[in-house]
Structure 1
């Protein structure tokens, strides 16, 4: 058996550590420069669409696929699940549990990035913890100061007026996040419900500061097999 692990998250790194001794290759999309090195063979870069993905599965002799990409990489997950179903390959998505509000949190769930403008008043300073992939969808936040944190230094200007980049590589402590939000004068935090303990620190910081949070809802999942723990994902691999 040769397993393809679709990686790029901290959880995928944890899964990879449990796959030593198994014929496996990890695939990273290449969205982040200098990604973390995994303890298993790696490939970096896209497949060239569905046709390229099918060719890769055949050429590499892949016999099963474990998707541990970001919870919001729903297009990649849906395509992978459909291709595996068509080819008769076992497929599993690892999807870590989403965050739930705790006492003192002031969260409002929105369906789309574009919905933020209806809730955030003009003149506010907005911190986007959503990454750069969907940044253009916030272009209707005219009249607000928009700060987008990203891992890599930008190669071009901010895509719309009134915005600025902030470069930082996680993890970030609660103390650091509180100090950062205070220094920048942040009024609103916008995040995706990515789940996970490491990236929750910004939400804890917002709670301590009494800051409102807009939480972008997770994409709807398909009817493929899903697990929510690393141990379940590794058990699935061992069962093949």
Structure 2
């Protein structure tokens, strides 16, 4: 007797989401669909079926889960995608679909780091002028408006796509997509005379080299703490743990 095919929906866009989609696409007992928010102009498409765009809030997502007979919902979005994660938790609970939240581990400071941890982008913007005059900002284009009122600091903002206004008065935009290398980050810090780094606690290896370079140079780093994941569902740290929860290898 053949094993029934399970439909798994991945809310993704992250490196881990693509890795997970690739692993699940190889499973004959799984049909995988990845949902991308559509905020990046040319996203890297994962294996399996792909849909782009929102669902219309938790009610819309719940309806989609029901109509598409989704067996398991996996939230593999960015650790700071709070709205999507909250919608996923509400929708999964409403239709009684198991929810797995895939969150890469947080970065942890080591000897030599000069971290200033804050709870929001607004708090990062407030503390920034006291730490340097040329800042590498790697918090994403959607949060750049929080720094629009910063004066006395030249901001070098790195983003996949061009940011929309409002923008800081002294701004250089670097269009780039990770993963990044230590050598590449050293070149960016040197070319733009960076003396302070601002980042979210995204975790993972793809964008971690900037932290190592800041440590080498003895520079301060403003780190925005990540929000806690929703209480509903099971939180896992990597693709292997997801496959284990699903009974797959």
Provide the TM-score with structure 2 as the length reference: 0.89
Whole-angstrom CA distance in 2 between matches of 1:213 and 1:24: 39
Find the counterpart in structure 2 of residue 125 from structure 1.
134
Q: 1:164 to 1:157 in 2, by over 3 A?
A: farther
Find the counterpart in structure 2 of residue 96 from structure 1.
104
1:137 partner SS: helix
Deviation at 1:44?
Answer: 1.2
2:16 partner SS: helix
2:194 partner SS: coil
Find the counterpart in structure 2 of residue 51 from structure 1.
59
Residue 215 (structure 2) aligned to one of 203, 207, 223:
207
Residue 17 (structure 2) aligned to one of 12, 28, 35:
12
Find the counterpart in structure 1 of residue 145 from structure 2.
136
Q: 1:117 to 1:45 in 2, by over 3 A?
A: closer
Provide the TM-score with structure 1 as the length reference: 0.93
Deviation at 1:157?
Answer: 5.3
Deviation at 1:73?
Answer: 0.7
What is the total number of aligned residue pairs between the two structures?
A: 238
Find the counterpart in structure 2 of residue 77 from structure 1.
85
Of stretches 229-238 and 64-73 in structure 1, the one that deviates more from structure 2 is 229-238
In structure 1, the gaps of 5 or more residues are none
Find the counterpart in structure 1 of residue 155 from structure 2.
146
Find the counterpart in structure 1 of residue 3 from structure 2.
none
Deviation at 1:144?
Answer: 1.3
1:4 partner SS: strand
Q: 1:158 to 1:174 in 2, by over 3 A?
A: farther
Of stretches 195-204 and 52-61 in structure 1, the one that deviates more from structure 2 is 52-61
Instruction: Give CA deviations for 1:181-240 in whole Å, capped at 9, x if unaligned.
Output: 11101111000111101210111111111111000011023322101121111122237x
Matched, 1:38 2:46: yes
Whole-angstrom CA distance in 2 between matches of 1:45 and 1:238: 30
1:115 partner SS: helix
In structure 2, the gaps of 5 or more residues are 1-5
Instruction: Tell me, yes or no, if the aligned pair for 1:6 and 1:68 is still in contact at 8 Å.
Output: yes
Whole-angstrom CA distance in 2 between matches of 1:234 and 1:42: 20
Instruction: Tell me, yes or no, if the aligned pair for 2:62 and 2:94 is still in contact at 8 Å.
Output: no
Superposition RMSD on alpha carbons, in Å?
1.7
Q: 1:36 to 1:117 in 2, by over 3 A?
A: closer
In the TM superposition, structure 1's runs of 4+ consecutive aligned residues that sit over 3 Å from their partners are: none
Whole-angstrom CA distance in 2 between matches of 1:158 and 1:222: 30
Instruction: Tell me, yes or no, if the aligned pair for 1:114 and 1:140 is still in contact at 8 Å.
Output: no
Matched, 1:219 2:227: yes
